Amino acid sequence: MASIDQLKSLASSKLGFARTNQFLVELPQDFASGSLLSRIAELITSGSMGGGDLNLLCASATMPGKQVLTHERRIGMEMQKVAYGYAVDDVSLTFYAMNDYGIKKYFDTWIASTVDENNQVARYKNEYQRDVKIHQLRKPILNKGFDFGPIGITVGIGGGTAYSVQLQNAFPTTISAIELNNELDGLVQVSVQLSYTRWRAINDTQGFISVSGGFGSIFR
């Protein structure tokens, strides 16, 4: 049986345990001019939504899984399962909404680009499919606290990425309803479902600056 010291040594050699609250979602922001998605780029550049700020607002995300599809085949005297493909599930993302509702406008515009609402005709896939990246971050190497009036913010530097995936040809299929309530003073959240054709692990070792404050932990 492994001892506590062995576990500590292993954790130290592997840079500690991965944390669920240390992640980053990179949303697409470079849309071709002339397409419906260029409206998103216009919102970003006009100041309605601040480019990288979109990524800071992600409260939760699911790292995608993969299921191998099988069927039974007789091999000799036995029935055996053999693989014939794989399936993936949609990815769920939840974002905090600011008072400009920029993140809601972002996904409203993106989902509107998939189907023409007037005649219910689907548009070409290359008009609305984009790649999305999800990064699992390592624990920051250096943490520094700052006070901005009543707000305290801790900035973590270094750490980099432990694991990254790229959702290929992704697009939103669902924007969940937002429940408003007079009896609760909570933060508005926008939840979306993304579909995609496939995902792949990527070697993305760039470093990020983590910022934690009133929203919990958010990263850039």
Residue 44 in this model has a pLDDT that exceeds 70: no
Give the CATH number for residue 183: 2.30.110
Q: Which domain holds residue 166?
A: 21-139+160-208
Distance, CA of 64 to CA of 91 (rounded, Å): 6
Residue 16 resides in a domain:
no
Residue 28 resides in a domain:
yes
**Tell me, what's the pLDDT at 171?**
96
Residue 7 resides in a domain:
no
Nearest to 107 by CA among 194, 197, 9: 194
Per-residue tokens: 131 = 């790649």
Residue 49 resides in a domain:
yes
Q: What is the DSSP string of 46-111?
A: HTSS-TTHHHHTEEEE-----EEEEEEEEETTEEEEEEEEEE-PPEEEEEE--TT-HHHHHHHHHH
Residue 50 resides in a domain:
yes
Mean pLDDT across the chain? 78
∠ at Cα 75 (73, 80), nearest 5°?
A: 50
The predicted model scores a pTM of 0.74
Residue 37 resides in a domain:
yes
pLDDT digits (tens, 9 = 90+) for 135-178: 998 876 555 555 545 545 555 555 688 899 999 999 999 999 99
> Mean pLDDT throughout 41-64?
70
Residue 145 resides in a domain:
no
DSSP letter at 13 equals H
Based on its alpha-carbon atoms, the radius of gyration of the chain, rounded to whole angstroms, reads 21
Domain count, the chain: 1
Residue 14 resides in a domain:
no
Of 175 and 82, more confident: 175
